[in-house]
């Protein structure tokens, strides 16, 4: 008899063929000589040009700012009768231009919407290290947005986590530019495949919430290009994202939404972006500088791009060609995404939920839960007869989502206590304590075979975490439980890294992030071993509050409004490796209930400067599982790069005893650097090392290649 009731092989696989809504192209779109831009056979830029020619000045101006239908940002009251959407641009009946309806959506449709699915936070989805999971996440979000009538989905957030205290860590993917790039492309493609235009947030150097409306990120160009730009570059070039949101902060003294270098030199000229840049809500600070330096659309209203822009055009401070370019940048993705051609019947009050999405939410949570410590075989819980579930997040108030524009109305939440009870065999005992009284919690823990204690952080947009400790009395609670029961497991519901002063006194640690509505079901599946944990950390967990890349006040939260990016390229694990600092749990790390062996690394030069790589992965354990093979590149010393950097990964599912060969490709850019002297990417060549393994600190296989 064990705690977890035996179940016959549960259908893992995909949660039941998640299909496209089949948003059918409107059959009857009239192609008339008056509206030649409705001809679907023409390219999006051509259609935009044809339409633009017919627009009056006022019609153009209407498109370059929101109409602020609602009075509050995240849970809007909407006196214009345009309900829900946090942004709205009126349509144009004369010319047949559809209205734009914008809604937040990082883990669910936000802005107070009901009848939606609450998925796990993006960092949880990313922890699966599986672009297919991330794509399914994007498709589900895109579909629910579309069903709510949204045609511009605000998300994903793709900034690289620079500061572990960043209040929006949960909302993005992690600390590595290559990793974020892969996840961003998968999610954007998913969202846009279901109807809405996706909006990549927040361009650029939006790496802290402290003083976010005025903060000035002082960062050198090489670091900007090599660390912070790649996810956005990929969103544009590989994800074909329709819109980008410029950020609140300044970069090198200039606000993002009027930053010529970022918006024109990089985005338009270097990356060739042909969609539009909208401002974050209230991130526009000027009319002429913003219009002339590349901001296309002010949100949520027209403080600078309404009457003031009209006057600036009349005064000759902004040319009509500049205005035209902004309108064109908005129209091109609208045409490309089919907004002129597709009927969209969904409404804000309509239902977007489905049983498929409930299952998908659970699957993403299961795939994103990282097993950090598992000693004496405490997990899975097969040997336990009784378990004590302790802590607020495990019992009375599960912490399932982060705050701010990511916040959403969960249709239901399965608590860990309920999830574990539902999985417990009859006769097994499940007791609980909410943790408000550590002595009572210790008493309950002492009476069970195993104690599972939950701890959480409160993370939200608008505020960084002042420290990396668990807030309140949670460390003391964990210590009290661990003292009462040697067989203690800690489950973390955090949005980013936390310190674990008690780690040596517990046998198990599980990072479940903010897991969404299926919290308890997903967690019980992991604890009971129905699902093998296969997630990996996309961020480093430090040992102490000062052993982090941004420990100086001038780095974060900054001094006199400036944050100095003095760590340069050494962001995340790069810094730990460079300074030989031992992390608590390294980037890329995560355990499984089975074991793997990787061997036989073969690397060869491919076409167009690429490197092709193969490595065998064997499941050496007794149950099915999945391993993430990670490839890091070490540059020749002359390139002065961080010690090694992630450049490829593959998730491999294996039956016991099975071996598969993982094939990966490293692109040429991975061997290039940004040359600050000439302001361009250069490929200097030399001898590069490829390091392959299963975390940034466990790289047993090596191969060298000399590239020109």
Active-site amino acid positions: 280
Alpha helices for 434-473 (secondary structure H): 438-446
- Site mask, ligand BGC, residues 183-222, x = CB under 6 A? ------------------x---------------------
Residue of minimal CB distance from ligand BGC?
405
Q: How far is the CB of 86 from ligand BGC (least distance, A)?
A: 4
Which residue, among 91, 211, 174, has the nearest Cα to 557 in the 3D structure? 211
| Residue 220: both structure tokens together | 């050198």
By the rule CB under 6 A, 74 interacts with ligand BGC: yes
Pick the binder of ligand BGC from 3, 55, 86, 278 (CB under 6 A). Answer: 86
Block residue for tokens 């524009």: 405
CB nearer to ligand BGC: give 146 or 281. 281
CB nearer to ligand BGC: give 299 or 352. 299
- Site mask, ligand BGC, residues 238-257, x = CB under 6 A? --------------------
Q: How far is the CB of 249 from ligand BGC (least distance, A)?
A: 11
CB nearer to ligand BGC: give 74 or 305. 74
Which residue, among 478, 366, 377, 368, has the nearest Cα to 423 in the 3D structure? 366
Q: How far is the CB of 148 from ligand BGC (least distance, A)?
A: 15
By the rule CB under 6 A, 145 interacts with ligand BGC: no
CB nearer to ligand BGC: give 127 or 405. 405
Q: How far is the CB of 648 from ligand BGC (least distance, A)?
A: 30
Distance, CA of 145 to chain centre: 17
CB nearer to ligand BGC: give 74 or 273. 74
- Site mask, ligand BGC, residues 262-301, x = CB under 6 A? ------------------xx--------------------
- List, in order, residues 6 or more apart from 299 with CB less than 8 Å away: 65, 66, 87, 102, 278, 279, 280, 281, 284
Three-class DSSP category at 606: coil
Pick the binder of ligand BGC from 5, 29, 73, 612 (CB under 6 A). Answer: 73
CB nearer to ligand BGC: give 73 or 254. 73
- List, in order, residues 6 or more apart from 506 with CB less than 8 Å away: 373, 478, 482, 488, 489, 490
**How many CA atoms lie within 13 Å of 195's alpha carbon, on the beta-carbon side?**
28
Instruction: Return the residues of window 437-476 that contact ligand BGC according to CB under 6 A.
Output: 461
Alpha-carbon distance of 453 to 451, in angstroms, equals 6
- List, in order, residues 6 or more apart from 104 with CB less than 8 Å away: 74, 86, 110, 111, 154, 155, 405, 406
Three-class DSSP category at 33: coil
Within 10 angstroms of residue 637's Cβ, the number of other Cβ atoms is 9
CB nearer to ligand BGC: give 48 or 86. 86
Q: How far is the CB of 378 from ligand BGC (least distance, A)?
A: 40
Phi first, then psi, for residue 101 (nearest 5°) are -120, 115
Q: How far is the CB of 405 from ligand BGC (least distance, A)?
A: 4
By the rule CB under 6 A, 104 interacts with ligand BGC: yes
Q: Contact, 420 vs 431, CB < 8 A?
A: no
Q: How far is the CB of 280 from ligand BGC (least distance, A)?
A: 5
Which residue, among 539, 524, 566, 373, has the nearest Cα to 468 in the 3D structure? 539
DSSP summary character for residue 557? T
| Residue 225: both structure tokens together | 């290009």
Binding residues for ligand BGC, total number by CB under 6 A: 10
Instruction: Return the residues of window 630-689 that contact ligand BGC according to CB under 6 A.
Output: none
By the rule CB under 6 A, 405 interacts with ligand BGC: yes
- Does an H or E element contain 526, and which? helix 519-528
Alpha-carbon distance of 323 to 319, in angstroms, equals 7
Pick the binder of ligand BGC from 116, 154, 499, 613 (CB under 6 A). Answer: 154
Q: How far is the CB of 208 from ligand BGC (least distance, A)?
A: 13
Q: Contact, 465 vs 484, CB < 8 A?
A: no
CB nearer to ligand BGC: give 205 or 696. 205
Q: Contact, 198 vs 155, CB < 8 A?
A: yes
SS3 content of the chain, % helix, strand, coil (to 5): 30, 20, 50
By the rule CB under 6 A, 550 interacts with ligand BGC: no
Q: How far is the CB of 103 from ligand BGC (least distance, A)?
A: 9
CB nearer to ligand BGC: give 136 or 200. 200
| Residue 447: both structure tokens together | 């009476």
Q: Which residues bind ligand BGC (CB under 6 A)?
A: 73-74, 86, 104, 154, 201, 280-281, 405, 461
């Amino acid at each position: 008899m064990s705690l977890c009731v035996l179940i016959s092989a549960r259908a893992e696989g995909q949660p039941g063929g998640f299909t496209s809504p089949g948003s059918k192209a409107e059959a009857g779109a009239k192609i008339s000589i008056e509206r030649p831009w409705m001809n679907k056979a023409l390219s999006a830029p051509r259609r935009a040009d044809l339409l633009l020619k017919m627009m009056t000045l006022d019609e153009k101006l209407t498109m370059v700012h929101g109409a602020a239908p609602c009075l509050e940002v995240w849970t809007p009251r909407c006196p214009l009768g345009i309900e829900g959407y946090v942004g709205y641009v009126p349509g144009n009946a004369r010319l047949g231009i559809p209205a734009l309806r914008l809604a937040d959506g990082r883990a669910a449709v936000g802005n107070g919407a009901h009848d939606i699915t609450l998925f796990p936070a993006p960092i949880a989805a990313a922890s699966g290290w599986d672009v297919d999971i991330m794509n399914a996440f994007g498709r589900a979000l895109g579909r629910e947005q579309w069903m709510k009538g949204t045609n511009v989905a605000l998300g994903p957030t793709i900034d690289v986590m620079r500061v572990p205290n960043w209040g929006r860590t949960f909302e993005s993917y992690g600390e590595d530019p290559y990793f974020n790039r892969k996840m961003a492309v998968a999610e954007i493609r998913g969202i846009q495949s279901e109807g809405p235009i996706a909006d990549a947030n927040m361009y650029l150097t939006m790496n802290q919430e402290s003083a976010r409306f005025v903060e000035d990120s002082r960062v050198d160009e090489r670091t900007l290009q090599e660390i912070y730009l790649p996810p956005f570059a990929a969103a544009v070039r590989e994800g074909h994202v329709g819109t980008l949101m410029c950020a609140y902060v300044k970069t090198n003294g200039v606000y993002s939404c009027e930053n010529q270098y970022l918006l024109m030199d990089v985005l338009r000229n270097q990356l060739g972006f042909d969609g539009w840049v909208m401002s974050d809500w209230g991130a526009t600070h000027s009319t002429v500088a913003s219009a002339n330096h590349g901001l296309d659309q002010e949100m949520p209203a027209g403080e600078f791009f309404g009457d003031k822009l009209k006057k600036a055009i009349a005064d000759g401070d902004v040319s009509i060609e500049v205005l035209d370019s902004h309108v064109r940048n908005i129209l091109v993705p609208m045409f490309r995404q089919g907004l002129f051609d597709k009927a969209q019947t969904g409404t804000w009050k309509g239902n977007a939920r489905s049983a498929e999405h409930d299952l998908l939410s659970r699957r993403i949570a299961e795939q994103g839960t990282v097993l950090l410590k598992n000693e004496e075989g405490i997990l899975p819980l097969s040997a336990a007869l009784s378990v004590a579930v302790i802590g607020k997040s495990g019992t009375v108030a599960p912490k399932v989502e982060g705050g701010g524009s990511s916040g959403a109305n969960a249709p239901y939440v399965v608590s860990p206590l309920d999830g574990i009870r539902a999985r417990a065999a009859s006769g097994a005992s499940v007791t609980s304590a909410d943790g408000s009284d550590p002595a009572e919690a210790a008493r309950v823990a002492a009476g069970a075979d195993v104690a599972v204690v939950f701890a959480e952080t409160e993370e939200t947009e608008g505020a960084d975490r002042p420290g990396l400790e668990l807030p309140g009395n949670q460390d003391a609670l964990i210590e009290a439980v661990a003292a009462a029961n040697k067989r203690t497991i800690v489950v973390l519901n955090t949005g980013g890294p936390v310190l674990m002063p008690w780690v040596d006194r517990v046998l198990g640690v599980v990072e479940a992030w903010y897991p969404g509505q299926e919290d308890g079901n997903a967690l019980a599946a992991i604890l009971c071993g129905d699902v093998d944990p296969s997630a990996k950390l996309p961020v480093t967990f430090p040992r102490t509050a000062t052993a982090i890349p941004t420990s100086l006040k001038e780095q974060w939260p900054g001094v006199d409004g400036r944050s100095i990016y003095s760590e340069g390229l050494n962001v995340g694990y790069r810094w730990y490796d460079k300074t030989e600092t031992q992390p608590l749990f390294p980037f890329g790390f995560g355990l499984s209930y089975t074991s793997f062996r990787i061997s036989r690394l073969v690397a060869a030069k491919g076409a167009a400067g690429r490197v092709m790589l193969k490595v065998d992965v064997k499941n050496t354990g007794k149950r099915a599982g999945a391993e993430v093979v990670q490839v890091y590149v070490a540059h020749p010393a002359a390139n002065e790069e961080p010690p090694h950097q992630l450049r490829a990964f593959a998730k491999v599912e294996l039956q016991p005893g099975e071996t598969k060969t993982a094939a990966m490709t490293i692109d040429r850019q991975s061997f290039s650097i940004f040359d600050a002297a000439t302001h361009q990417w250069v490929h200097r060549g030399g001898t590069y090392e490829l390091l392959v393994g299963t975390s940034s600190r466990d790289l047993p296989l090596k191969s060298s290649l000399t590239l020109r």
